[in-house]
Structure 1
Amino acid sequence: MSTATYTVVGMTCGHCVNAVTEEVGQVPGVTQVDVDLASGGLTVTGEAPVDEAAVRAAVEEAGYAVAPG
């Protein structure tokens, strides 16, 4: 099992959390997505390491950005 964490910028409400969760959940290999609205934290879990570029693209598709880091 592999876990990666990111910080999402621009989320302001529960709808934002749902949009990010839905988009990132569609990335191949992702088995669990946890989003914390207060901190902007995004935790992505997969059986194997998940492609970071795909996660970033999914967050952007939802209308938000991943903070550099």
Structure 2
Amino acid sequence: MVLTQSTMLTLGTKAPDFSLPDVISGKTISLKDFSDKKGLLVMFICRHCPFVEHVQKELAKIGKDYEN
């Protein structure tokens, strides 16, 4: 991976709006689609990574546990 300067926002800063493709449905989703929710977790992971494959089911379970 190429060394990239961090552009981390100060903790507590409101997230800027963004749009990303949903890898399951193919639809474009944005932060504002979740404005009525208490929180949103976005994970940038490689689905064919052995570690991710190992924890994938547990990540899905955690997602279901916190869905509502």
Does TM, scored on the shorter chain, surpass 0.5? no
State TM-score, norm by structure 2: 0.31
Higher relative contact order (CA 8 A, sep 6+): 1
Greater radius of gyration (CA): 2
State TM-score, norm by structure 1: 0.30
